[in-house]
Amino acid sequence: MSTTVIAQSNAASPSMPLRIVRQAKRLKPALWIAPFALFFYLFQLAPMGWVFINSFIYEGEFVLDNYIEVLDSTFMMQAFGNSLWLAVWSSLFGLMIATLLVSSLRRIHSKLRDAVIAFTNMSSNFSGVPLAFAFIIILGTNGAITLLLKQYGLLGSFDLYGQWGLLVIYIYFQIPLAVLLLYPAFDALSDDWQAAASLLGAKTWQYWAKVALPVLSPALLGTFIILVANAIGAYASVYALTSGNYNIITIRIASLVSGDLFLEPNLAAAISVVLMAMLAFITVINQWLISKSYAGKKSHAKR
């Protein structure tokens, strides 16, 4: 009897090699993701850790003097202000233009739509020094469009190398990114909704205000945050256009780690930490707004 029970238990329980094979199959996805995890650590977590630790080092001591210097400096606060001004306004204008563009793309022929999306994808990678050079040729002091508009008296005191000129460049490289991010979100809208709204007597603006935009609000908010982060981190185009003479935060960080006069990497690290904290705060607010939006949709659906 006991021999029979032992034989049945041995047959029911898998052998040791079979267990090892099963465990190896379970660990296979983790092995595939290990290179990505290593890459993420080396190029994301490790640099962030270095920046955070070194931001507290001042003349060999672990203190808060770097942060005090950043927050007490009018010049640094102006750099933060300029960066935020360019980021917020370029994101708003870029988001509005991209929303209109994507809404129009849904109603045109598929081949033309695919061509526009392909061009948008290509133009989203056109940035940095080539973008600055293109704008200098077109809208610079002696640019083609600048001279043409001045000839007809249509251009006043526009300066490509100033605040408003930089805003134009920022809006330009924000639009393609916003289009690529918003295009899938518009699949949530059904053409039947607008037809039903019109049958009920709603006008086009009422449909967008009460139906389309509430449905798209999570995607719009998320895209806005990504655009803000993209604009705050912009460096090459502004530097190539102004030679580092316009005061934004990325140029200040670069001047402290690669300047010709003096190097202060610990101060640059403190500025970077403040910038990361600012972006983290904006992201938390965005996630809170998105959660409120989803909660509102669920309660509306229950009703």
Q: pLDDT of the chain along its 303 residues, tens only?
A: 445 544 444 544 556 667 776 776 777 777 788 888 888 888 888 989 999 999 998 888 888 989 999 999 899 999 999 999 999 999 999 999 999 998 888 777 778 888 888 888 888 777 788 888 888 898 888 888 888 887 877 776 778 888 888 999 999 989 999 998 888 888 778 778 878 888 888 887 888 888 888 888 888 888 898 899 889 988 888 888 888 888 899 998 888 888 666 788 899 999 999 988 988 888 888 777 777 655 555 554 555
Can you tell me the distance from the alpha carbon of 132 to that of 143, in angstroms, rounded to the nearest whole number? 12
* CATH number of the domain residue 216 falls in: 1.10.3720.10
Cα 43–78–273 angle (5° rounding)? Answer: 25
pLDDT at 53: 92
This prediction's pTM? 0.80
pLDDT at 52: 92
Can you tell me the distance from the alpha carbon of 302 to that of 217, in angstroms, rounded to the nearest whole number? 19
Q: 187 in a domain, yes or no?
A: yes
Instruction: Provide CB contacts within 8 A for 261, sequence distance 6+.
Output: none
Q: 133 in a domain, yes or no?
A: yes
What are the counts of helices (DSSP H) followed by strands (DSSP E) for the chain? 15, 2
Q: 238 in a domain, yes or no?
A: yes
pLDDT at 88: 93
pLDDT at 293: 59
Looking at the 3D structure of the chain, how many domains does it have?
Answer: 1
Q: 284 in a domain, yes or no?
A: yes
pLDDT at 7: 47
Name the residue range of residue 148's domain: 64-298
Which residue from 186, 211, 187 is spatially nearest to 198, judged by alpha carbons? 211
Radius of gyration from C-alpha coordinates of the chain = 27
Q: 175 in a domain, yes or no?
A: yes
pLDDT at 183: 86
- Residue 266 near residue 70, CB atoms below 8 Å: no
Q: 273 in a domain, yes or no?
A: yes
Can you tell me the distance from the alpha carbon of 107 to that of 122, in angstroms, rounded to the nearest whole number? 22
pLDDT at 9: 47
Q: What is the dihedral of CA 55, 61, 64, 68, to 10 degrees?
A: -90
pLDDT at 200: 81
Q: 205 in a domain, yes or no?
A: yes
Q: 34 in a domain, yes or no?
A: no
pLDDT at 82: 93
